[in-house]
Amino acid sequence: MPFDRSIKIAPSILSADFANFGAEIRAIEDQGADWVHVDVMDGHFVPNLTFGPMAVKAFRPHVKTVMDVHLMIAPVDPYIDAYADAGADVLTAHVEAGPHIHRTLQAIKAAGMKAGVALNPGTPAEAVAHLLDMADLICVMTVNPGFGGQKFIDMTAKVRALRAMIGDREVHIEIDGGVDTGTAPLVVQAGADVLVAGSAVFRGGSVDAPEVYGANIRAIRAAAEGPGA
If binding is defined by CB under 6 A, does position 121 make contact with ligand DX5?
A: no
**Can you count the helices (H) and strands (E) in the chain?**
8, 8
Q: Which residue is nearest to Zn ion (CB)?
A: 70
The contact pattern for Zn ion, residues 16-55, with x = CB under 5 A and - = no contact, is: -----------------------x----------------
Question: Is 61 buried (19+), middle (13-18) or exposed (0-12) by CB count in 10 A?
Answer: exposed
Q: At how many degrees (to 10) do helices 21-30 and 211-225 cross?
A: 50
Taking contact as CB under 5 A, which single stretch among the options 59-67, 154-162, 170-178, 184-192 is the one that binds Zn ion?
A: 170-178
Prior bond to 75 cis, omega within 30?
A: yes
Side-chain half-sphere CA neighbours of 179 within 13 A: 34
Of the candidate spans 23-31, 53-61, 70-78, 166-174, the one that interacts with Zn ion by CB under 5 A turns out to be 70-78
Options 7, 9, 15, 21; binder of ligand DX5; rule CB under 6 A: 15
Residues of this chain that interact with ligand DX5 (CB under 6 A) are: 12, 14-15, 37, 39, 70, 143, 145-150, 176-179, 196-200
